A and B are shown apart, each in its own frame.
Chain A
Amino acid sequence: NAGVTQTPKFRVLKTGQSMTLLCAQDMNHEYMYWYRQDPGMGLRLIHYSVGEGTTAKGEVPDGYNVSRLKKQNFLLGLESAAPSQTSVYFCASSRGANQETQYFGPGTRLLVL
């Protein structure tokens, strides 16, 4: 099992460009999440999904969109990148909510110039 994988691992964007980050999990988990990690801030939830075809906003959703067309994939889109979106992005998945362990991908490092 690969667990949770993320592509790409690293990307540099210019302000205003768009891109999509892909997260894939092979554990048949219902729930998937996108976080961003900034120095001294811990991880903050951007968007999440409780099942195929569903998405919901997290703590910091502005400037991002997501889609969950297939159960195993969760895409994070930046329509018009800004320097404030320079961060490390982590995807996670879990079997359920609340007490369930979240399994994290290795992260995508994004630099917006």
Chain B
Amino acid sequence: AQSVTQLDSHVSVSEGTPVLLRCNYSSSYSPSLFWYVQHPNKGLQLLLKYTSAATLVKGINGFEAEFKKSETSFHLTKPSAHMSDAAEYFCVVSVRYGGSQGNLIFGKGTKLSVKP
């Protein structure tokens, strides 16, 4: 069965310092992996996705993630946090939910706080 685990429910960093949001997945197939961001009272927006091409994926707003099959990880990083990065981040794996439909399984989310 496919699943995704976000290792931290809350991460707090200072502005200008690096961001690391950790995600591990479990999948019987070659997975597609995504990171989505949700700002307060907003819908979700795609940050980046991995679909079996390059293992280092670059996304919007300076974020990137590296797919490590040996570690079953897909951690999200950013070299320097901005105040506008404060939001909730979801790691997501695409699964087959009956038939050939690939639906999304969401992690429980990591809330990122950025201190001035």
Known: A40-B9, A43-B90, A99-B49. A90 touches B103 (CB 8 A): no
Q: Chain B nearest CB: distance from A50 CB in Å? A: 6
**Minimum CB–CB distance for A102 against chain B, Å:** 6
Q: Are B43 and A90 in contact (CB under 8 A)?
A: yes
Question: Which of B34, B45, B90, B101 is close to A56, meaning CB atoms less than 8 Å apart?
Answer: B101
What mask results when residues 25 to 49 of chain B are scored 1 for a CB within 8 Å of chain A, else 0?
0000000101010000111111001
* Interface range for B: 20 to 34
Given known contacts A92-B44, A105-B43, what 20 new A-B pairs fall within 8 Å (CB)? A40-B9, A40-B108, A42-B90, A42-B106, A42-B109, A45-B103, A45-B104, A50-B101, A56-B98, A90-B43, A97-B100, A97-B103, A98-B94, A99-B32, A99-B51, A99-B94, A99-B102, A102-B46, A102-B104, A107-B41
